[in-house]
Structure 1
Amino acid sequence: MICLEIIAEVTSEDLAGVYKEVAETVGVENAYKIYSHFKGLQLMFPLKFYSKEYIMQQICSEYNGKNVHALARKYGYSESRVRQILREAKDEIV
Structure 2
Amino acid sequence: MDNNLLEFVVEADIPESYQPVVSLIGMENFLKLCRYAMGDELYFPMQESILRNTRKRLITQEYTGDNVIELSRKYNLTQTRVRGIIKDLK
TM-score (norm: length of structure 2)? 0.64
- Tell me by how many angstroms 1:38 deviates: 0.4
Alignment coverage as a number of residue pairs? 81
Secondary structure of the equivalent of 1:68?
helix
Match of 1:4 in 2: 6
Return the offset for 1:26: 0.6
Partner of 2:42: 43
1:87 is aligned with what amino acid? K
Computing the radius of gyration from Cα coordinates, the structure with the larger value is 2
1:70 Cα shift? 1.9
Percent of residue pairs bearing the same amino acid type? 27
Aligned to 1:16: 15
What's the RMSD between the two structures over aligned residues?
A: 2.7
CA distance in 1, matches of 2:38, 2:17: 12
Where do 5+ consecutive residues of structure 2 fail to align? none
Residues 1:19 and 1:85: Cα distance change in structure 2 (over 3 Å)? same
Q: Are positions 1:61 and 2:68 aligned together?
A: no
CA contact (8 A) 2:71 2:82 kept: no
Distance 1:34 1:18, change over 3 A: farther
**Is this contact kept in 2: 1:68–1:83, CA < 8 A?**
no
